[in-house]
Amino acid sequence: MAEKPQPVRVLYCQVCSLPAEYCEFGPDFKKCKPWLIQNAPDLYPDLINESSSNEADKVADQLQSTAISSAAGDTATPSGSTPAPQEEVKRLPGGKIKKKEKPEVIIEKVTRNKRKCITTIKGLDHFGVKLTDASKKLGKKFATGASVVKGPTEKEQIDVQGDISYDIVDFITETWPDVPETAIYLIEDGKKVSAA
Ligand SMILES: [Zn+2]
């Protein structure tokens, strides 16, 4: 007989708090891996093969760090060309990962046409902020539309309708005390300006 349909149940990663299937798009997939192997092996069958073979592990690590650096945007190097094992990410004892890059929140005003303007916010997820939650709060606070969208580098960002780039820094630091003002940057006329 046919199998009963399973109720849909979302498994949240306890490392990055994204649904487990999105970990690979999350801020630090490497940190999630051990947890995923334990708790969601079906979602990432490759991880198990990867961890059972040192050679494959190395290759995967290289691929992974390429993926991380290109996803980070600005400082991305062209991928694939250099076989040198340049580690972007340092592995600390206990499997902890140390990133060279400091996490940042980038706020940019984008004018779609003369009257329409949106403010994009990138990087809140680096500080453990849930983007869907943040977008709701922003929409409510500024009484406007806000949504989580995929940016050009496939990273998720929040788009808020209207120009809120001046009020938003205070709102972020008040709402999410984990985000220091010094980590917030505004893009103004193509220049990156610290909000602090
Ligand atoms: Zn995760």
- CA 12 to centroid of ligand 1, rounded, Å: 8
Burial of 37 (0-12, 13-18, 19+ CB in 10 A): middle
Residue type, 17: S
- CA 20 to centroid of ligand 1, rounded, Å: 6
- CA 133 to centroid of ligand 1, rounded, Å: 17
Query: Which pLDDT score, from 0 to 100, does residue 106 have?
Result: 92
Q: What is the pLDDT along the chain (196 residues), one digit of tens a residue?
A: 566 666 677 889 999 999 998 999 998 898 999 899 889 888 888 877 766 655 545 555 666 665 555 545 454 445 555 555 555 555 556 665 555 668 899 999 888 777 788 999 999 999 999 999 999 999 999 999 999 999 778 889 999 999 888 789 999 999 999 999 999 999 988 899 998 8
- CA 128 to centroid of ligand 1, rounded, Å: 11
Residues, CB-to-ion distance under 5 Å, ligand 1 = 13, 15-16, 23, 26, 32
- CA 59 to centroid of ligand 1, rounded, Å: 21
User: CA-to-CA distance for 185 and 196, rounded, in angstroms?
Assistant: 8
For the record, the structure tokens of 174 come out as 């008040």
Sign of the CA dihedral running 20, 22, 27, 28: positive
Q: Where are the beta strands (DSSP E) in the chain?
A: 89-91, 97-99, 105-111, 117-122, 146-150, 156-161, 184-188, 191-194
- CA 107 to centroid of ligand 1, rounded, Å: 25
Query: Which pLDDT score, from 0 to 100, does residue 83 have?
Result: 54
User: CA-to-CA distance for 42 and 25, rounded, in angstroms?
Assistant: 17
- CA 31 to centroid of ligand 1, rounded, Å: 7
Query: Which pLDDT score, from 0 to 100, does residue 63 have?
Result: 60
Query: Which pLDDT score, from 0 to 100, does residue 181 have?
Result: 94
